[in-house]
A and B are shown apart, each in its own frame.
Chain A
């Protein structure tokens, strides 16, 4: 459990980091942020970069800032920074809830928001809420800055649409629209484990019917995905347990190629997706009703 030899660079600015990246073969460089996934991979020699590019001295990549209708979170902000942010708590309780569901305090103290997004673990909470909320991911590269919609950012297992030579700098999380009921729930073997399956639900109630329903399932397959068939069933309908159950069934049917591993079979995951879809919709509805909207 000792890493293979590598070179190490820890530049103080993003420009220097980008320069170092451009001077090296990007396939031979690994970027270190909080290290919660990369360090074990290095120690197990599953990752064997020639160069480890440590971003943690770049102050400009940290911090949580208010935008007009979104919160900008620096890629190197830790989950703990988010947890402690009254801005996020006020503007986006869903993002806050997803933060405290991640791992354990020790992991949140070091793990970064950008690191979770770039790692693109299919069972991670942040990619799921990013997709549900329609977050924007901002990257800098040789060609300048690029803004990527969350749904276009996450490709498949541990794979994003970041180009070689690009560094994620910022995540822009839109504020939760007024009156939106939300829920994030997951089934994990233990508290703090990656989810076997998780679900995020959002909806508003207008004139007693569901408006702008969003359902994201994570942990069940290669990446967090919205489920438009199920969302279509809900839109414009009066919420009910039966409606949520049929949405759950639609999710289960549309789930492509569920993961099969030691903790859960594909069939079990499919069924859990159904259950969690219905449960999160139910909780989201309660919150929407409670919001008085």
Chain B
């Protein structure tokens, strides 16, 4: 049965959509706002125990003894696990690249501060924390290596002695005649950059409740789990269980942004439940655990990059050398973040050839994890600084320099050197809209006046691509197998015409349940209030991946519309039989099935559903009597990666231009963002209010990255930023008003023409803010090469320029 998924609003079976494409209030919000949403920490199970984890105080040490006897005798303690239990009952974590995973509890050595060494399950968390203080661990401290460049030296201390090296991967990918491009260039611009480790900090940290069934030999895990099906497969591998013996129940969770990996803590908690004879054990990661050893310290990067440019301003080649510090293991997706830039390596530009010299290095820090954007934001920070350096050298305006190199409209679909295909775009229009919104000429003239007064005012104009609808093939170079990421939905209409949609992902904040109600109500001509969305666990749900990689809005739209279409086809056969005509003559329009133009030959959706459910005797014998269908949507046309990592990977390519004005206080080094304007094009906007919310949040996180957020370590590997006093999230006071304008270029490849937009602005914001800072610093001959551009760093740059007040003018 062919499934017809509408590619535009016009193709929906309605005269005019009343819900989709409009900024509808979210169905998720009443429960959130009244505190009735059940987060994992709200869940209480009978006989439940509470876990506390004893963590390593050393970045690198041998463990010579773990003594739990005193802790075991503390009243209220039920179970204690150590590395011995991990060895007995579990395998090392899966990792990327392969072979760099460890057990969830240290077995012989600790490799980062905060690495779990032992854990206690007790009647409450207080007792559990009392008990871990009674466990004595003897450590034999070893030298720690925290600098990835030093870690690559042949005589470096080894994080994993058995590996013989700290280099997890070292490969150069070449796409086209890069040497020729650089040799033939009129100019080569080359720079070093440093992106410091930072990451997601959702309001809710990770948490889980794990329950081992000692008779069934199965696991049930509830938690703030973003990707339940994959999480379940991972646990099955860790505990050598059949995949149908691990059930994952994803509780609604507060944000994620990639930061709720939680696999290690979950595995520890599973071991505790097993040792406690199957009593459920809850572990709620506290903020210090999260900041010290949580799942989202991302993008600890050292770049050496260059572009080749012709005198007329054409960029002819890009070289990016990246030393990526993945921390102590490959368990947490840090490597994937280094692979994802392949999906948009050359950004929005027609750069024809490129090279990626990628080194993944182990150090004695927390394993590096994912964060919103999954790797490209630092890549675009680097590319956009190079673009500005080249424009400055050529004496071109940075906006016009970008315009000259944009992929033109007629070139789409456009294949970039690293292999991915961009679906559609109108980059020049996005630039024009952003410049118009900001009144760019006026900004430049105001800047000229400010410079006359000796003020450090800068304007950044930056553009980037947001790859949307991820596929595993994008990460083939770091060892992720496979192609294809499914998302399924089951749509059922009941005897009263109410509609239930069953999905395999829970609430995370992006409003997809609202989106589903918009889609279904327009498809069947009902009210959104008649649509209910129900979450199913991994053993019950249709195939599902859930949110991630800017995919779920597009994917669930495909799944829901596909399921609706399957019901439509089935219902048309039923109606045709009742009306004694052929199914081809029956049309669904505005909630009625019938013969077009014949008012008496129409049946409402609820009448058809009621007939199907109550009168199977009237139906054609081969029609399934349930007004229900499941559709599983997968991005079409994805290709396996070739030897150089090239693949059609991410299905959509959204694009944005941000225009930012900053002023740097030349005495203190503090940056004030005075103006923030952006234009973005993520195709059809299914719920424009949601898109705006994603953009606002993502700008905020981008500003955090650009100016504030940084996980720092001393040379012994001790983390220096373990509370929110030192790890600085932007607050409402640090985020300027963001002026936004939308350009809509539908994707030709997706349901309704929507593109992935969930990660959004963070691709562009750090680049744009740094472009503005460097524009401000240009007159004093300085450049910020390190993110975040903290005031201490800018103060050093200004001081190095000899820019003291006594000097007077610049």
Residues of chain A touching chain B, judged by Cβ–Cβ distance below 8 Å, are 1-5, 40, 44-45, 187, 189-194, 245, 262-265, 268, 271-272, 275
**Which residue in chain A gives the minimum CB-CB distance to B730?**
A190
Give the top 10 A-B pairs by smallest Cβ distance, nearest first. A191-B733, A1-B286, A275-B667, A2-B126, A2-B129, A262-B720, A268-B792, A189-B728, A2-B125, A264-B792
Q: How far is the CB of B731 from chain A (nearest CB, A)?
A: 6
Residue among A1, A45, A271 making CB contact with B795, cutoff 8 Å: A271
Is B708 a contact of A189 with CB atoms below 8 Å?
A: yes
Distance between Cα atoms of A40 and B133 in the complex (Å): 18
Residue among B130, B668, B720 making CB contact with A275, cutoff 8 Å: B668
Distance between Cα atoms of A190 and B733 in the complex (Å): 8
Contacting residues, chain A, for B723 (C-beta < 8 A) = 40
Is B795 a contact of A268 with CB atoms below 8 Å?
A: yes
Contacting residues, chain A, for B591 (C-beta < 8 A) = none
Is B130 a contact of A5 with CB atoms below 8 Å?
A: yes
Contacting residues, chain B, for A4 (C-beta < 8 A) = 129-130, 133
Q: How far is the CB of A241 from chain B (nearest CB, A)?
A: 9
Residues of chain B touching chain A, judged by Cβ–Cβ distance below 8 Å, are 125-126, 129-130, 133, 286-288, 667-670, 708, 710, 712, 720-721, 723, 725-726, 728, 730-731, 733-734, 790-792, 795-796, 799, 805
Is A262 a contact of B721 with CB atoms below 8 Å?
A: yes
**Which residue in chain B gives the minimum CB-CB distance to A264?**
B792
Distance between Cα atoms of A193 and B708 in the complex (Å): 12
Residue among B126, B668, B710, B730 making CB contact with A187, cutoff 8 Å: B668
Known: A190-B730, A262-B721. 18 other contacts (CB 8 A): A1-B129, A2-B125, A2-B126, A4-B130, A40-B723, A45-B133, A187-B668, A189-B790, A189-B791, A191-B731, A262-B712, A262-B726, A263-B790, A264-B791, A264-B792, A271-B795, A272-B668, A275-B667
**Which residue in chain B gives the minimum CB-CB distance to A4?**
B130
Q: Can you show 17 pairs from A to B with CB atoms below 8 A apart?
A: A4-B130, A4-B133, A5-B130, A44-B288, A189-B708, A190-B708, A190-B731, A190-B733, A190-B734, A191-B733, A194-B725, A245-B805, A262-B720, A263-B790, A265-B792, A268-B792, A271-B667
Is B288 a contact of A1 with CB atoms below 8 Å?
A: yes
Distance between Cα atoms of A3 and B288 in the complex (Å): 14
**Which residue in chain A gives the minimum CB-CB distance to B129?**
A2
Of the candidates A191, A245, A262, A268, the one having the most CB atoms from chain B within 10 angstroms of its own CB is A262
Is B125 a contact of A192 with CB atoms below 8 Å?
A: no
Contacting residues, chain A, for B795 (C-beta < 8 A) = 268, 271
| Interface residues of A, dominant DSSP | loop
Contacting residues, chain A, for B721 (C-beta < 8 A) = 262
Distance between Cα atoms of A192 and B731 in the complex (Å): 10
Contacting residues, chain A, for B733 (C-beta < 8 A) = 190-192
Is B728 a contact of A190 with CB atoms below 8 Å?
A: yes
Contacting residues, chain B, for A272 (C-beta < 8 A) = 668
Distance between Cα atoms of A57 and B710 in the complex (Å): 41
Distance between Cα atoms of A220 and B708 in the complex (Å): 20
Distance between Cα atoms of A40 and B725 in the complex (Å): 11
Q: How far is the CB of B726 from chain A (nearest CB, A)?
A: 6
Distance between Cα atoms of A191 and B731 in the complex (Å): 8
Contacting residues, chain B, for A191 (C-beta < 8 A) = 731, 733-734
With contacts A5-B130, A192-B733, A194-B725 taken as known, whether A187 is within 8 angstroms of B670 at the C-beta atoms is yes
Q: How far is the CB of B392 from chain A (nearest CB, A)?
A: 28
Contacting residues, chain A, for B668 (C-beta < 8 A) = 187, 272, 275
Distance between Cα atoms of A40 and B670 in the complex (Å): 29
Contacting residues, chain A, for B286 (C-beta < 8 A) = 1
Distance between Cα atoms of A128 and B80 in the complex (Å): 49
Distance between Cα atoms of A192 and B728 in the complex (Å): 12
**Which residue in chain B gives the minimum CB-CB distance to A269?**
B792
Contacting residues, chain B, for A245 (C-beta < 8 A) = 805
Contacting residues, chain B, for A192 (C-beta < 8 A) = 731, 733
Distance between Cα atoms of A1 and B723 in the complex (Å): 12
Distance between Cα atoms of A194 and B726 in the complex (Å): 10
Distance between Cα atoms of A274 and B691 in the complex (Å): 46
Distance between Cα atoms of A272 and B669 in the complex (Å): 10
Distance between Cα atoms of A187 and B795 in the complex (Å): 13
Contacting residues, chain B, for A268 (C-beta < 8 A) = 669, 791-792, 795-796
Contacting residues, chain B, for A189 (C-beta < 8 A) = 708, 728, 790-791
Distance between Cα atoms of A264 and B723 in the complex (Å): 17
Distance between Cα atoms of A155 and B125 in the complex (Å): 38
Distance between Cα atoms of A194 and B723 in the complex (Å): 14
Contacting residues, chain A, for B712 (C-beta < 8 A) = 262
**Which residue in chain B gives the minimum CB-CB distance to A43?**
B286
**Which residue in chain A gives the minimum CB-CB distance to B804?**
A271
Q: How far is the CB of B29 from chain A (nearest CB, A)?
A: 23
Q: How far is the CB of A245 from chain B (nearest CB, A)?
A: 7
Distance between Cα atoms of A5 and B712 in the complex (Å): 32
Contacting residues, chain A, for B799 (C-beta < 8 A) = 271
Q: How far is the CB of B751 from chain A (nearest CB, A)?
A: 41
Q: How far is the CB of B671 from chain A (nearest CB, A)?
A: 11
Distance between Cα atoms of A3 and B286 in the complex (Å): 13
Contacting residues, chain B, for A3 (C-beta < 8 A) = 126
